[in-house]
Each structure stands twice: as structure tokens, then as C-alpha cells.
Amino acid sequence: MVFSSVVFIFYFLPIFLACYLTLPFKHAVLLFFSLCFYAYGEVLYTYIMLVSIVLNWAFGIFLGAAAEGRSRQVVLAVGVTANLTALCYFKYLGFFHDIAAEIVPSLVSGPRPDVHLPLGISFFTFHAISYLIDVYRRQVPVERSLMYVAVYITMFPQLVAGPIIRFHNIREELHHRRATLAMFTAGIQIFIVGLAQKVLIANTMAVPADAVFDLDPATLAAPVAWLGITCYTLQIFFDFCGYSTMAVGLGLMIGFHFPENFRDPYAASSITDFWRRWHISLSLWFRDYLYIPLGGSRAGPLATYRNLLIVFLLCGLWHGANWTFVVWGLWHGGFLVIERLGVSRLLEACGAVVRHVYVMLVVMVGWVFFRADTIDQALGMLRAMAGWGRLDENAAVLGQFLTPEVDLALLVGVVAATPLMGNAVRWGIEWLSGACGGGVPGRRIADGVYLALIVAGFLLAVTSLAAGTYNPFIYYRF
């Protein structure tokens, strides 16, 4: 089940809210509906998540009972290893089999293991690991209630696609939270903004992006190749940002303050800045639980560069068991190293336009590897973007990909991917409030116009969904 679906919006969510807001046992309601949400798309593998919950709750208890020193370290190591072993088995067994078959074919026999990838396992595994490490570091007390650990890991707003939430950030709200009317209405508005981003922009961009990437790269003219990657650049941002925004809105409706996951990443001035703005919860997770424990930047430049490459290699693998994700991770890690070698100072001396072109070029080339199924396809796409492709009668005509809906979504998407749209809305509301006399009456009129825009966005989104538009979700793969 995805948030941007008729089933979720008109059936699951209203029933959940009615039960949650009226029944006294909030945690049981949230846990029950979260399990139903997960089982809707992954009924046969729900037990994997349930086993993870019980084991990590038990490891937390053991950490709390263990004496200081080596015994606590052993419990933490066993707990983290158990989580990573499950993740590696379900997500990477086939990938490791392929690598072994290439390196030592004599030792590998039989076909590639066909292991099902449980929905959201990358996210709930990282949640579980962060809980154990926070308990080990004594950033939070041991959670002795299995219910609270279960709710933390299964909460449906962030269960299958994040944002990645630290236990210590929401522990107080798990135990003591109160959803006010103001929070509830703000949550609805935030949810609708995310829904519009996903349905009206990401879904529209997905059609030409998929169409271009489905073509033989050798037949692509450069303009078509650039159109394909431009559409995908907007699709993946509004797809994931839209989902994260909906998750934040849903959390607010029930009294949780989830962290911001995107902060205008395409307006970044460097790749370092990009990773302070893109998938912030994942960046901070890798920083706090991997980069800093590896030594961070404390052991000199060479160790810092090594640590950055390790982190982004694993960041790429976290996204998928494919060499394309490895290249994507190392591509970004490599540019972080390059910027630390002096490129960042060079960029500071350049104008804003040069910095923006640099960032978008690096990011879009990276997205080619992220989107491609194979390294060969990615390289073929890059050759086409460089103008080395063969001009084909079918692929040369941009018009077959550019419909009025795509043109409008491209225009809106480019503007909305920068701070311009948010600033324009705020300035417009302030101007309207002043133009209507200011004070309380003017503010009410401005708020009414803003509410009308929100309602219009919701109606357009649900109309699009009702029409059966293409509605993929990229991060369900992870």
C-alpha cells in the first residue's frame, strides 16, 4: 500500500484516524494498523519484521543488564551482526553469489539464489540498529516495554520508506504525546503538499523518464537522453520528497514530530552541501553510526578520504544490490573527496551559476547510474548525453515524449525544486494579507486563499489517481 493510492487515502487512513482519535489505547491501535499496512503488501514476510522487533527488544534488555566493558560490547556486536546478517541474506545473497561466481567460479555451483526482498527491510533494520547503539551509548534508557519498541519500528508513516527516525528523537513522544487540533490540521496540509508532489509531478515525470530509459541508448539523440535524465532527476526528488513530506504530515496528525528529510537539495552549492540537503536522515545516520566511529576527519586527510569512500560505498549498496549503485555511491564519495582536496575553495571563488551547474551535472550523471539497470546501459546513456549516440528516426523526435502535461510538470517541477516556489507562496500570502487591509481580517483572507490552494492540490491529485495514472514508487525497491 502506498500513501498515494485510493485505498490508503479513502479507506485505510480515515478508518485509522477514527479509531486512533476515539479509542483510549493509542499504541495498540497504531501497532495494529501499522501491521495491517505492512501486511497489505507483504503478508507472507511480516514475520521477518516481527522477529526483528522481538530480537532487538531483547538485545536492548541485555544491553541494559550487561556490565560496563566487554560484555556490553559483545551484546551490541551480536545485536548489530544479527540485524546486518538478515539484511545481507535477503538483500545481497544473490549479488554476493554473482561476485563469487565471477571470482572463483569453481567454488560456486547452482543457479543464482532467488531470495525475496521483504518490503522496507533496509529502513526498519537501520531503525533497529540505531536503537541498539543509542542504548549502548546511553543516549536513551533501555525500553523495557515491547509495545514501545514495536510501535517505534512499525509506525506505518515511516515504516517502508523513512525518514529514518532515531529512537532518542521520538522516545518522549512515544511515551507522552498529545495531538492538538493545530497539529492535526497542519499535518493534513503537509500531507496534501507531499501528495501533490508525488502524484502531479513525480508520476508525470515517470512516464517520459521510463520511456527514454527503456530505449536502446545507442539509438538516442543527445536531446532525448537529456530529457530522460532531466525527467528522472525531477521524478526521484518529488517521488521521495513527496513520500517523506506525507510521512511528516501523517506523524504530525498523531502527535509525532518527524525530522525534515529534504531541504532544497537541487539548490546546493556543492556536493558536500547536497548531502546536507538530500535524504538528510540517511546522511546523518551514516555520519553518526559509521563515519564518526571510523574516525571521521580526526585522523588526518588520508583517513578522512578513506572514511568518506567507505561510507558512500555502503550508502550505494544500501540502496540496492547492483554494481550501478556501487558506482553511484563511489561517484558521490569521490566528489566529496575532490572537494576536500581544494575544489570547494575553487567553487567558492566562482559565481552561483557555475556552482549550480557543477552540482546539477554531477548529480544528474550520478542519477544515470542510479536509474540504469546495468553499467553498460548507464555508459550508453552517458555517451548519448555527450552526443555520441546514433540519431534514430523514433528517438530523435522530442515531441513524442513532451505532452502538455509533461511540459507543465517540467516547468512546475523545476521551479518547485528550488526555494523559489516556497518563497513565492509566502510572499504572495503576505502581500495578499496586506492588500486586504492587514490585521486579522487580511490574515483570514490570505489563509482562506492558501486553504483553497491546498484543497485544489488535493482535488487534482485524487482526480489523477482516480483516472488510474501511472503511480510507481521508487524507494519501495529499497
The separation between CA 74 and the C-alpha centre of its own chain, rounded to angstroms, equals 32
| Per-residue CA distances from 215 to 379, 393, 395 (Å) | 14, 13, 8
319 is catalytic: yes
Angstrom CA distances, 315 to 81, 239, 273, 319, 327, stand at 18, 19, 17, 7, 11
Taken in order 295, 296, 299, 303, the sign of the CA dihedral is positive
Question: What is the C-alpha to C-alpha distance for residues 233 and 418, in angstroms, rounded to an integer?
Answer: 13
Closest residue by Cα to residue 389 from 374, 379, 402: 379
Mapped to the 3 state alphabet, what secondary structure does 26-90 carry?
HHHHHHHHHHHHHHHHHHHHHHHHHHHHHHHHHHHHHHHHCCCCHHHHHHHHHHHHHHHHHHHHH
- Length of the chain in terms of residues written: 478
How remote is the C-alpha of 130 from its chain's centroid?
17
199 vs 24: CA distance, rounded Å: 35
* Rounded to 5°, angle at Cα 320 from 60 and 202: 105
Q: What residues contact residue 212 under an 8 Å CB cut-off, 6+ apart?
A: 220, 224, 225, 227, 228, 229, 231, 401
In Å, how far are 53, 136, 200, 240, 407 from 165, measured between CA atoms?
Answer: 15, 17, 27, 16, 36
Compute φ and ψ for 14, nearest 5 degrees: -60, -40
Is the bond leading into 163 cis (omega within 30 degrees of zero)? yes
Active-site choice (257, 319, 332, 356) = 319
Rounded CA-CA distance 347/339 in Å is: 9
Largest CA distance in the chain: 82
Positive or negative, the CA dihedral 147, 477, 266, 231 is: negative
CB-CB contact of 477 with 239 (8 Å): no
Residue with cell 484543497: 455
H/E stretch holding 317:
helix 301-319
Per DSSP, the three-state class of 388 is coil
Cell numbers found for residue 92? 545481497
Q: Which residues are catalytic?
A: 319
